[in-house]
Amino acid sequence: MAKAITLLESTKPMHRQAADEMLQILQLHPKPKTTLRLGISGVPGVGKSTFIEALGLALIAKGQRVAVLAVDPSSSLSGGSILGDKTRMQSLSVSEHAFIRPSPSSGNLGGVCEKTRECMLICEYAGFDVVIVETVGVGQSEVAVANMTDVFLLLHLPNAGDDLQAMKKGVMEFADFVVINKADLDPDAAMRAQSMMSSAMRLVSQSKGGPSASSAASYAGMTDAELLAHGVSPSAPSPGAFGPMDQYVGLKAAHALQMDPTWRVLQISALKMHGIDVLLERVLQYQVEQMKSRAFERKRAQQAVSWLWERVHSGLRNAFMENPSVLQALPDLLAQVTKGTLEPSSAARMLLKLKQV
């Protein structure tokens, strides 16, 4: 697996061709199982690595195999990355049921690296039950991971921003769950943060056309027949969706609670393993509901189309930078732009015309 991912991440043309052939061969065969893709984001220092280790160990305890794709920020000066995530996941890294792969962001925006999607495919064909993608933690613009995972978890700290900051558009719009980590350090601040984030999630849900908390609460006292009449299935999920995971889902009360976005805001302490089991149970319940409503299939289809266009854009960019005419004219144009004798927009138009010739 490590060698396959290294091949995918290589920038050499011959390696890129070999990587494409490898993926084509893999896709001729059915995947062993449906893999749950989890995206983890949050500001630096929120405890993403500690949280992932706690979550990974909890999944392994339930009989799951876990792959972690950790994206490390690359220096804008040297271009290098520390790639030291394994040192912060010491217990998880030595488990035979876990695979951890740190990768450099290499200047890519959105908190992920260029080949993260392809790396997820390798993990899925290797038979892992859950693939966790940890982002670099760049802030509110970090939404790329939400467009390649099934469930996106945003980690937040107590006393880390006011109400206005929490309600800002951006990464909050894409979060399926908001997790208040390190809640044990200041319980009062954690409670305030949970309330603040619940309000923000409710506003985001309403802006998307989702139900309010009051309408969600109305489902709680309904019978099975009444739930069905409102389009909410009260039955347990069909077996086999996620193998051993099925025994942890299917609670009838969750159907009503999941309609309320505040159900997806929790307090935890990853270091002390407090609240991890509750979070994991809710994530699995949420995912099963997504599958039953066919939202899972629609999301995966949209992500596949997005992936296609991302590859097209990347290919066009590479072809442009490798064009002989562009390479020949670029040094002179760069020198003129640097001296201020040529506007950048004019230089860009000249380069684009060269590519079209």
Instruction: Report the CATH number at residue 78.
Output: 3.40.50.300
CA contacts within 13 A on the Cβ side of 283:
29
What tokens appear for 296 in the block? 């899972």
**Do residues 226 and 314 share a domain?**
no
pLDDT in tens, 227-255: 455 444 444 443 334 444 443 344 444 44
What is the count of structural domains for the chain?
A: 2
Domain carrying residue 345:
309-356
pLDDT given for residue 248 in this prediction: 39
Q: What's the pTM?
A: 0.76
Residues 113 and 151 reside in one and the same domain = yes
Pair 197, 73 in one domain: yes
pLDDT given at position 258? 47
Task: Say if residue 289 is in the same domain as residue 325.
Answer: no
Q: Which residue has the higher pLDDT, 123 or 139?
A: 123
Residues 135, 223: one domain?
Answer: yes
> Is 264 part of a structural domain of the chain?
yes
324 & 186 share domain: no
Comparing CA positions, the residue from 140, 63, 142 lying closest to residue 98 is: 63
Q: Report the C-alpha gap between 296 and 280 in whole angstroms.
A: 18
Q: Which of 127, 89, 80, 101 has the alpha carbon at shortest distance from 6?
A: 101
94 or 213, greater pLDDT: 94
256 with 333, same domain? no
Residue 163 has pLDDT above 50, yes or no: no
By DSSP bridging, strand 151-156 and strand 130-134 are unpaired
Closest listed residue to residue 217, CA positions, set 202, 207, 204: 202
Same domain, 240 and 316: no
Q: Are residues 163 and 258 in the same domain?
A: yes
Residue at 211 is within a domain: yes
First-residue to last-residue Cα distance in the chain: 42
* Contact predicate 126/94, CB 8 Å: no
Q: Are residues 268 and 336 in the same domain?
A: no
335 and 232 in a common domain: no
